[in-house]
Amino acid sequence: MSAIAVERAAALGPFPGRIVIVTDAWHPQMNGVVRTLTTTVEILRQWGHDVHVLSPDMFRSVPCPSYPEIRLAVAAPGTVSRFLADLQPDAVHVATEGPLGFAARRHCIDRGIPFSTAYHTQFPDYVAKRTGLPASLFWKYITWFHRPAERVMVATRSIRAELRAHGLTKLHHWSRGVDLECFTPDAPRPPEYEGLEGPIQLYVGRVAIEKNIEAFLRADYPGSKVVVGDGPASEELKAKFPDARFLGRKSGRELAGCYAHADVFVFPSRTDTFGLVMIEALACGTPVAAFPVPGPMDILTDTVGAMSDELERAIAAAIYCDRARCAEYGAQFSWEAATRQFLDGLAAFEELVPSDA
């Protein structure tokens, strides 16, 4: 066997077959979950897997209450089951806990089909912030939803510990990656940065209440604050903080340039499970300031960022990190390695699904 063939066989792993990913988060949404799933699917297909995505764009949908940008699929009874039955996949991965994920979970349980899930977002905290109800109520749903899975994929050590504390024990590490051809320190400077007083402090991501962006915009630190992204809180924050620059959604090299030419990337969220934007910023050579919470605590080191319960102190310290070391550290996060971890999370099915199934 040639060296190329050996490498291809290693990439394919135990499933050079048909994989179905069921997700309630998909395009045109733009967030960490969608970017993770999109990139994973692309790489799996490049490696020769037959990957099918069951997503809201295939159905009539309605806006999620209080979050209209997110569309919830309205599928006729039995539609998801027929989709899965027709495809006869070698592996089923249920990525989200929404209506499509719920229907796929039920199909698999009713028919004794093993499946994996993933815990992408701090769903209980997000819903608690939007409803005013205690997060403990929503943890009951999370534990119920994920308990039957053969594997629950999680991105960080802190979230694994949290899920284990809630009684979920069949956990599997699935990290995240960076497009290292796109996110580089030499990305072009965005024209919107011209004339901005330094240091430039940047936030990238969903502009929504659960992201705690107001803590960043209120931080008493000199310089300019820039927000890249959009979401339901955009207009309110623009009105409250007229001195901040809101650039809207960016992608590709435009987004990379926003990272690369900022002096510090500020990650104010206290509820993220990973924080994909942090490693994108680091790959562009930009240090990160954050609160000492899960996500930042799992990713950042003293050489590439700073954490403090006082965001101003974290910003002040992070600005002095060596940018070359930030870029070197960020380059360690490979999407190919993360996708192999995803495949390893499906490997348990090799024993559970007969070869002649």
* Fold match, 3-177+335-352 / 191-330: yes
Q: d(Cα 262, Cα 226) in Å, to the nearest integer?
A: 9
In this structure, what token pair is assigned to residue 128? 């608690």
Half-sphere exposure of 235 (CA within 13 A, CB side): 1
User: Does the structure show a pLDDT above 90 at 81?
Assistant: yes
Over residues 25-43, the pLDDT tens digits come to 998 887 889 999 999 999 9
Q: How confident is the model at residue 68 (pLDDT cuts 50, 70, 90)?
A: low
Count of CB atoms situated within 10 Å of the CB of 159: 20
Task: Please tell me the predicted confidence (pLDDT) of residue 133.
Answer: 77
Task: Please tell me the predicted confidence (pLDDT) of residue 225.
Answer: 98
* Domain range annotation of the chain: 3-177+335-352, 191-330
In this structure, what token pair is assigned to residue 226? 């820039």
Q: Which CATH architecture has domain 3-177+335-352?
A: 3-Layer(aba) Sandwich (3.40)
**34 in helix, strand or coil?**
helix
Unique residue bearing structure tokens 């979950």: 33
**Residue 248, strand partner residues:** 228
- Distances, alpha carbon 252 to alpha carbons 23, 180, 247, in Å: 23, 11, 14
Q: What are phi and psi of 293, to 5 degrees?
A: -130, 165
User: Does the structure show a pLDDT above 60 at 10?
Assistant: no
Q: Which CATH architecture has domain 191-330?
A: 3-Layer(aba) Sandwich (3.40)
What percentage of the chain has pLDDT greater than the value 70? Answer: 89
Q: What is the mean pLDDT of residues 93-116?
A: 95
Amino acid at 339: T
Q: Which of 205, 321, 194 is nearest to 264 (CA)?
A: 321
In angstroms and rounded to an integer, the radius of gyration of the C-alpha atoms of the chain is 21
Task: Please tell me the predicted confidence (pLDDT) of residue 357.
Answer: 33
Axis crossing angle, helix 276-283 with helix 32-46, rounded to the nearest 10: 70
User: Does the structure show a pLDDT above 90 at 13?
Assistant: no
Task: Please tell me the predicted confidence (pLDDT) of residue 65.
Answer: 66
**Residue 306, strand partner residues:** 289
User: Does the structure show a pLDDT above 70 at 263?
Assistant: yes
Q: d(Cα 135, Cα 122) in Å, to the nearest integer?
A: 10
